[in-house]
A and B are shown apart, each in its own frame.
Chain A
Amino acid sequence: MVEAAGWWPVLVAPALLLAGAVLAVAGDAMLAARYAGRPARAAVAAVPLLEVARLLAQQPRTLPKADRLLWRLGVVTVPVAAVLSVLVIPFGHRAVADLSVGVVWFNAMEVLTWAGLWLAGWGPNAAFSLIGGYRFVAQGLAYELPLMFALISPATAAQSLGVGDIAEAQQGLWFAVWMPVAFAGYLAGVLAFAFLGPFGYPAGRDTAAGVLGETAGVDRLLLQAGRWLWLTSGAAMAVPLFLGGAAGPGVPGWAWSALKTLLVLAVLVWSLRRLPVLRADRYAEFAWVVLVPLTIAQALVPALVVLDR
């Protein structure tokens, strides 16, 4: 049973999310060192954290005719939406707010990154940055519908939009086992809304880091943090949606939640450097011609199972 408890989870949930994101960044740095043939020591993992101190001290960039209000708004929206999305994700048997429409809440927060990244691209009044923002919108039109059908599948099977109810409905069999297409579609969506790895096209090297290109200092830190916070939040949401939530033998629920989240996160971080960057126009065709029909067919499966129940 998922319960909302007091005020302190409001502080603990963002702290846990941040800790997961720091682990993901450190793991990514270790993998990068390994693929580059350098020894993957603990010092390597600390390098991105030193970058945080550098960015905090760095001067923000000023550009002619920049729309500073919209730029700041966009930059702040991405990490804030990521933090707001974890409010509905249960850790162990506790969530900050186990809303009756938790899945829709998560989806709405994720869609806020569309607005955030488009604004972050528009704000600085620079061509490459704007191209990055538009690239994310194009990517969004491709990944969003398969992701929505992937989210709807477990909700249909559990007959509830509440994340706690969905976790509880997997007593017998994890949804990942009998809805593998939805699980895969969901994980692809997580990489896409974190715009990392194969979906790093909006911040691609071919456009001088695109949407990130003109940001400096705290702005850049917030956008980069937003990416990794979203990756962690997506991994955490996969646990109640597809991997049975906090259920497990032996150790308490929170330990299972943490373990499963870290495993999903590890798989996602590993995949970042194993897959090539996808162009949004190519992925859009693949998403609409292949993924949308597949995920709709997948959503039909739990619908039929529930009807038969």
Chain B
Amino acid sequence: MDTVRLALLAGLGVLALAGGVLVFTCDSMARVTFALLGSLCCVGGVVTVLGLPYLGVAIVLMMVMEMVIMAVFMIAYMMNPAGLMPMSMLHNKRGSLLVSGAVFAALVAAVLLTPWPARTGPPPPDTTFQLGKALMGTQMLTMLVLGFALLATMVGATVLATHRGRYDRFGDDLGRRQARDPAGGGVGR
């Protein structure tokens, strides 16, 4: 690995950490959310520099959408959303310091103690193709299970969150042609 890429990795890593620190020091939920977004974009950059451009750019793509949606919920549900009054994002300081310190030490130890295999042969020209083959081949079962779990979670959460069911929308015998909804939609009315 040449010096430019090492410098990029170090710079992005430091920026990602700085964003992570800002998440716990800012008062405003909007600032917290976008500090986290900045941190995650740096992680996307790290993955790109490591030679996985598809994963890196896709991380940025997905994280921007996720963080914007998260901002909506953070502001809806957290106290003091705009940070107009001082508040702390830190809870259970001693316990969380202990847990995070132990996890960090374990991860560093794993990095240093794992006997990493030496590279055999040159790196592949297109890592995106390899990634696709892995996802659609050896990891197919993982992806399918993940997909079903996510879909089931989304449907379940929506069913739990809404108090209206199909009988409210289409009548007791489900005979109504047009659903009776509190807000009009774009189809069929």
Contacts and interface: CB of A to CB of B under 8 A. Distances in A.
Contacts of B140: none
Contact of A108 (B28, B57, B71): B57
B34 A73 contact: yes
B84 interface: yes
A144 B65 contact: yes
A115 interface: yes
B53 interface: yes
Interface string A172-207: 000000000000000000000000000000000000
Interface in A85-135: 99-101, 104-105, 107-108, 111-112, 114-115, 118-119, 122, 125, 134
A178 B28 CA distance: 49
Nearest to B48: A101
Interface in B152-189: 183-187
A3 interface: no
A70 B34 contact: yes
Interface in B37-94: 37, 53-54, 57-58, 60-61, 64-65, 67-69, 71-72, 82, 84
A166 B148 CA distance: 32
A111 B67 CA distance: 11
A47 interface: no
B48 to A, nearest CB: 9
A293 to B, nearest CB: 12
Contact of B31 (A70, A111, A144): A70
B126 to A, nearest CB: 6
Chain B's interface size range is 20 to 34
A108 B64 contact: yes
A233 to B, nearest CB: 16
Nearest to A65: B84
Interface in A141-158: 141, 144
Interface of B is mostly: helix
Interface in B95-119: none
A119 B184 CA distance: 28
A227 to B, nearest CB: 18
Contacts of B186: 278, 281-287, 289
B128 A100 contact: yes
A117 to B, nearest CB: 9
A67 interface: yes
Given A67-B28, A114-B65, A281 B184 contact: yes
B12 interface: no
Nearest to B72: A137
A295 B34 CA distance: 32
Contacts of A107: 61
A68 B18 CA distance: 20
Contacts of B34: 70, 73, 115, 119
A112 B183 contact: no
A254 B71 CA distance: 43
A161 interface: yes
A137 B61 contact: no
Given A144-B65, A161-B128, A122 B30 contact: yes
Nearest to A148: B61
A286 B61 contact: no
A99 B53 contact: yes
A277 interface: no
A40 B169 CA distance: 51
Contacts of B84: 65
A285 B82 CA distance: 31
A115 B37 contact: yes
Contacts of B37: 115
Interface of B: 28, 30-31, 34, 37, 53-54, 57-58, 60-61, 64-65, 67-69, 71-72, 82, 84, 126, 128, 183-187
21 contacts: A65-B82, A70-B31, A100-B53, A100-B54, A108-B57, A108-B58, A108-B61, A111-B61, A111-B64, A111-B65, A112-B64, A115-B67, A115-B68, A161-B128, A283-B186, A285-B185, A285-B186, A286-B186, A286-B187, A289-B185, A289-B186
The 7 closest A-B pairs by CB, nearest first: A285-B185, A282-B186, A286-B186, A108-B61, A285-B186, A104-B57, A114-B68
